[in-house]
Amino acid sequence: MDKVVKSVNFNTNNRGRAGCMAGFSLIEVLVALMIFSLGILGLSGLQFTALRGNHDAYINTIASIQVMDAADRILANPGGVAAGNYDLLDEDAVDPGCIAVGCSPADLAQYDYWVWNTGDAAQPGTGNATQLPQGEGVICLDATPDDGVSRVDSGCDGALVGGDRVFAIKIWWDDDGDPGTASRRHVLSVFP
C-alpha cells in the first residue's frame, strides 16, 4: 500500500490574510457594541414608559378610591341627603368642629366635603388635595355628570334625573404637570 502524504503549504500570503482578518474582527466587535448600545437605550426608554404607565394607573386608582369615599359619606348621612345638604358642595369648606360633640346632618355634610376635598391633618391620607396632584373635587346634583373642567367650572346643573336625586362626584387632577393642558377627570354618579 502506498502511503499518500499531503503537504501543507505555509506561504506568506496566508499570514497576510490573517493580519487583515484581525482588523476585520475588531470592526465586527465595534458594530456589535454599537447595536448592543442601541438596544440598551431602547430598553431604557421602554422602562421609562412602563414606569409612567404604572404611575398613571396608581393615580387613577387613588381617584377611584376618592370618589368611592365620597359616595360612602353621602350614603352614610341620609338626613343630610334628604335635607339637600349634598346638593352642591363646591366651595372651600372649613371644618365645622362638630365631630367631637356630635354633628347635625348639615354639619356632617360640610365636614364630609371638607375632609374629602381638603384633607384633615388628624387623618393622614384624606383629601383630594393631598392624594392627587393639584386634586380638587365637587359633589352636586347633576343630570349630565360627564362635563366640567374644574371645581370652579364643574358643569353641575342641579337637575333631577327622572324626579330622582342623582349625585355626581367629580374629581380633577393635573396628570402631566403642564398647566396648559386640561386636567384629568373622574366621575361617579350615586343614586342614594
Domain count, the chain: 1
Q: Is residue 143 part of a domain?
A: yes
Cα dist. 191→49, 140, 167, 175 in Å? 38, 12, 7, 29
pTM: 0.76
Q: Is residue 98 part of a domain?
A: yes
Contact by Cβ (8 Å): 67, 188: yes
Q: Is residue 26 part of a domain?
A: no
Q: Is residue 137 part of a domain?
A: yes
Residue 114 confidence (pLDDT) above 60: yes
Residue 22 confidence (pLDDT) above 80: no
Q: Is residue 79 part of a domain?
A: yes
Residue 16 confidence (pLDDT) above 60: no
Q: Provide the residue range defining the domain that includes 101.
A: 62-190
Q: Is residue 93 part of a domain?
A: yes
- Each residue of 51-69: pLDDT tens digit? 999 999 999 999 999 999 9
- Amino acid found at 149: V
- Each residue of 135-176: pLDDT tens digit? 999 999 999 999 999 888 999 999 888 888 899 999 999 988
Give the pLDDT band (50/70/90) at residue 8: low
Contact by Cβ (8 Å): 123, 115: yes
pLDDT of residue 12: 53
Cα dist. 56→20, 40, 53, 99 in Å? 55, 24, 5, 35
Q: Is residue 50 part of a domain?
A: no
Q: Is residue 20 part of a domain?
A: no
Distance CA 151, CA 188 (A): 15
